[in-house]
Amino acid sequence: MRGAEAALSTRQIERLGAPLLVAWQITRDCDLACLHCCTESAPGKRLADELDVEESLRLADELIANEVPYVMLCGGEPLVVPHFLDLATRLGRAGVQLKIETNGQRLDARHIAQLATLPVRSVQVSLDGDTAGTYARQRPGASLEKAHAACRAVRAAGLPLEITFAPTRLNIHEAEAVIERARSLGAFRFNTGALMRIGTAARLWQRLQPSEEQYRRFRQMLERSARALANESLELCYTPFSMADGLRASVTEPPAMLLVLPNGWVKVAAALPQICADLRHDTLAQAWAHYRAAWRDPTVLAALERAIAEESRHADANRWQQPTPVH
């Protein structure tokens, strides 16, 4: 076998019969219009062709049948979807591990009581500031008090809490305080990294992008905090730091995951516009085969190299291209 073929055969995705993770954006609708949103979600921005309840539950059944071990339900804001709990329950009761990404504004006692009966590995709440003013500037109309209350309720129910923080010029000065807040709330993980130049953030890039000096101090703070928390239960996750870093790693070892859009299309990678499958028409097995083939496709690999070299190209990531499976 030639060297390139041998290298491809050693990739994890070539050895797996199904993805290890499905990240499912179940809607573009949201109750907030955050300035940094990578999916361009906002109130009333539900896509006209989003999967309906029957199609969504059918896809959930296929994930179960293919023994996908881990599913992340996200959006938009997944809790605005009327059948969110039906999906989570269908998956969880079949033994699928769940991660729920939410802004926490709608996470009420009913949601938490039901999620507490399911195998939830993480409820991830976004805390993009530690003061009400900073938080609301980045998330207009949002209540930091509600987000904190949601975090406390998650932990009170015995569910694992994860915090995410998207750094911008508006909030990066409060990052260290948010880490301490995450620790005091009982979170097991704090996720951050460079701001993604996708979606709404790309349109507002000049307003939001931290300066090199701000990023330098931010990285120093993260390294200092990671050392200080070495014996604590809170893990700081900030690598890969940028999308380009993540894409470089993906060249040799593509993620063993499918990123599913609200209409059932499957993206090759978050930073690329390429769509490799359509789960309205493809089976999950077919979609997984198309995804693996995409990571061998010269056109996709060339787009990947351009995205690594030129961060500004990430702004095209939501200009989806029609599915073009590679066989």
Q: How does pLDDT run along the chain (327 residues), one tens digit per residue?
A: 343 444 455 799 999 999 999 999 999 999 999 999 999 999 999 999 999 999 999 999 999 999 999 999 999 999 999 999 999 999 999 999 999 999 999 999 999 999 999 999 999 999 999 999 999 999 999 999 999 999 999 999 999 999 999 999 999 999 999 999 999 999 999 999 999 999 999 999 999 999 999 999 999 999 999 999 999 999 999 999 999 999 999 999 999 999 999 999 999 999 999 999 999 999 999 999 999 999 999 999 999 999 999 999 999 999 998 776 555
> What are the tokens at 161?
């809490």
- Spatial distance between the Cα atoms of 175 and 229, rounded to a whole number of angstroms: 15
Distances (CA, A) of 152 to 112, 156, 158, 228: 11, 6, 10, 24
Per-residue pLDDT, 217: 98
Per-residue pLDDT, 41: 97
- Spatial distance between the Cα atoms of 110 and 316, rounded to a whole number of angstroms: 38
Q: For residue range 258-305, what is the model confidence (pLDDT) as tens digits?
A: 999 999 999 999 999 999 999 999 999 999 999 999 999 999 999 999
**Domains of the chain and CATH, by start:** 21-238 (3.20.20.70)
Residue with tokens 């050895």: 15
Q: CB within 8 A of 33, min separation 6: which ones?
A: 41, 42, 43, 140, 141, 200
**How many beta carbons lie within 10 A of that of residue 14, not counting itself?**
12
Per-residue pLDDT, 326: 54
pTM of the model: 0.94
What is the amino acid identity at position 181? R
Per-residue pLDDT, 4: 40
When the pLDDT of each residue in the chain is averaged and rounded to a whole number, the result is: 95
Q: For residue range 129-170, what is the model confidence (pLDDT) as tens digits?
A: 999 999 999 999 999 999 999 999 999 999 999 999 999 999
